[in-house]
Amino acid sequence: MSYSPPSSAKPFTLNIPDQDIDEWRQLLTLSKLAPETWEGSHEDGRYGVTHKWLRETKDYWLNTYDWRAEERRINSFPNYRMAIDGVDVHFVALFSSKKDAIPIQLLHGWPGSFVEFLPMLNLIRTQYPDAKDLPYHIIVPSLPGYPLSPRPTDRDWTMEESSTVLNQLMVNLGFTKYIAQGGDVGSFVAQSSAARYDECVGIHLNMFTGQTDNLELSELEKKSIASAQAWQETGIAYAQEHATRPSTIGSVLSSNPLALLAWIAEKLIEWTDTTPPLDHILTNITLYWYTSSILTSLYPYRQLFSKVLGAAAVPNVYISKPTGFSFFPHELSPGFKRVVEKGVNLVTYEEHEHGGHFAALEQPEALWGDVEAYVKIAWGKV
């Protein structure tokens, strides 16, 4: 008998009201660019986005970028919503007709969204054009507090709570076991699910935090660690702001689309070794704007940067379930094999010459190939 989603998974079509689009256009049109300065003239980005880039991108966003076309691209995939514990969870899914299809959950991070995985979903849909041939159920949730998944705002929220909600999503879909894949915040949520829930029987990651030694580094590892160290020295102030003053920075970014553009685009450009297409950058930022979700997306930083706050760190628990890892050299927190295998039961490890923090967006073929190879090994061990 083929799979069909439960009635609690409500089909969803993204359609931003014209009034919201008109308001965005008016606000962006009236948003004032900073004056041209020495700091804003460095093309290498040492002081952030340049005046030239922001000026030209503002013009492109207003006069060339087509949001309705991007809506159609998003809606070309099956979208759903499901109410779980006070969160109206949004997710995109490719459901298989195969009885023994393997459920895989793909988890994004900050400042990303589910749209990071659309290139990968397109690859999968091309690879398996008929649902009866698809060997997987692919579930791509929007994390609670991120675009299209509003979370409760009258109390604190943690990554463990996100893990609980997203595990329950898989249970509600009828899956007694599943694999989770994640980078950035998604990597922590996946690890939390693996540590806390029996249904999450394995994880695949493309980011890992751990103590890295400088002994016997390969040339690729030397390049990677130099990039990560440079980010630690010059690029981490934003995270301290998120951790300690989220209300202030969230209020600033929620008031002005040009401010949001500068804040998020800087990361999408700097944290990759090949800048993503401009339309991909703008679609991600536009989603944050229309869903008013930038402030509610900042909660992970209170846990991740505990040294700043003097709070309890994210639990560092050994993951005994089979784990796969993809190494991309421009990752902010690159996982060297000898480091990763100390924290997880590592069954696959793939090293790539190119790619950075947004692997699903930058290198969808490589990441999906790694996930498929991992699943073939890991699923047989559970």
DSSP string, 58-99: HHHHHHT--HHHHHHHHHTS-EEEEEETTEEEEEEEE--S-T
288 is annotated as an active-site residue: no
Q: Which of 178, 301, 349, 374 is the catalytic position?
A: 301
Alpha carbons 327 and 207: distance in angstroms, whole number: 8
The answer to whether 74 and 118 are in contact (CB under 8 A) is yes
Q: Name 193's Cβ contacts closer than 8 Å, sequence gap at least 6.
A: 163, 166, 167, 180, 200, 203
Alpha carbons 54 and 134: distance in angstroms, whole number: 42
**Which residues is 94 bridged to in the sheet?**
138
Task: Tell me the three state secondary structure of residue 108.
Answer: coil
DSSP string, 317-329: --EEEEEEEEE-T
Q: What is the DSSP letter of 41?
A: G
Alpha carbons 34 and 43: distance in angstroms, whole number: 16
242 is annotated as an active-site residue: no
Q: Which of 136, 146, 178, 184 is the catalytic position?
A: 184
* Burial (0-12, 13-18, 19+ Cβ within 10 Å), 45: middle
CATH superfamily for domain 78-228+313-380: Alpha/Beta hydrolase fold, catalytic domain (3.40.50.1820)
The answer, as to whether pTM is greater than 0.85, is yes
Alpha carbons 91 and 7: distance in angstroms, whole number: 14
Q: Do the strands 87-94 and 136-141 form a parallel or antiparallel pair, or are they unpaired?
A: antiparallel
Beta strands in 99-258 (DSSP E): 102-107, 136-141, 178-182, 200-205
Q: Which of 299, 349, 357, 374 is the catalytic position?
A: 357
65 is annotated as an active-site residue: no
pLDDT tens for the chain, residues 1 to 382: 678 899 999 999 999 999 999 999 999 999 999 999 999 999 998 999 999 999 999 999 999 999 999 999 999 999 999 999 999 999 999 999 999 999 999 999 999 999 999 999 999 999 999 999 999 999 999 999 999 999 999 999 999 999 999 999 999 999 999 999 999 999 999 999 999 999 999 999 999 987 766 668 889 998 999 999 999 999 999 999 999 999 999 999 999 999 999 999 999 999 999 999 999 999 999 999 999 999 999 999 999 986 654 444 565 789 999 999 999 999 999 899 999 999 999 999 999 999 999 999 999 999 999 999 999 999 987 7
